[in-house]
């Protein structure tokens, strides 16, 4: 059993958590989110459009991010996503839950 780096291999909800974190530092368009995740993970997380945009749609419908149209750095029309107040609360809750889960997995791995 090997570890891979595709979004489908992440725990359920993890991609949404990572997107919330990515936009918590400021407005980003889809490609900016993908690049943030790739760079922050030292190229381990490679998120494609087929995973990113459905996750963004779920976050929009939940009210955790909002999207506004703007112009990208290469002068193209792009939708920029920002964290809402509800999204900031959700990010804190999800991060706490994720930290608990990682701690539990680490505890099991340390057992002999």
Contacts of 104 (CB under 8 A, 6+ apart): none
Tokens representing residue 58 in the block: 């779920």
Q: What is the predicted pLDDT for the residue at 73?
A: 87
Question: What predicted TM-score, i.e. pTM, was given to this entire model?
Answer: 0.85
**Domain positions in the chain:** 7-110
Q: What is the predicted pLDDT for the residue at 6?
A: 52
Q: What is the predicted pLDDT for the residue at 108?
A: 97
Q: What is the predicted pLDDT for the residue at 59?
A: 97
- Spans of the chain, pLDDT less than 70: 1-12
Q: What is the predicted pLDDT for the residue at 112?
A: 84
| Gap between the Cα atoms of 65 and 59, Å rounded | 6
Pick the CATH number of 7-110 from 1.20.1250.20, 3.40.1390.20, 1.10.10.10, 1.10.10.920: 1.10.10.10
């Amino acid at each position: 059993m090997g570890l891979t780096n595709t979004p489908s291999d992440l725990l359920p909800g993890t991609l949404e958590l990572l997107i919330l974190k990515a936009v918590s530092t400021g407005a980003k368009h889809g490609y900016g989110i993908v690049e943030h995740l790739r760079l922050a993970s030292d190229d381990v997380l490679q998120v494609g459009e087929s995973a990113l945009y459905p996750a963004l749609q779920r976050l929009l419908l939940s009210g955790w991010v909002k999207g506004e149209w703007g112009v990208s750095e290469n002068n193209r029309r792009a939708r920029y996503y920002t964290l809402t107040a509800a999204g900031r609360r959700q990010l804190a809750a999800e991060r706490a839950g994720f930290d608990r889960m990682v701690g539990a997995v680490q505890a099991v791995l340390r057992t002999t």
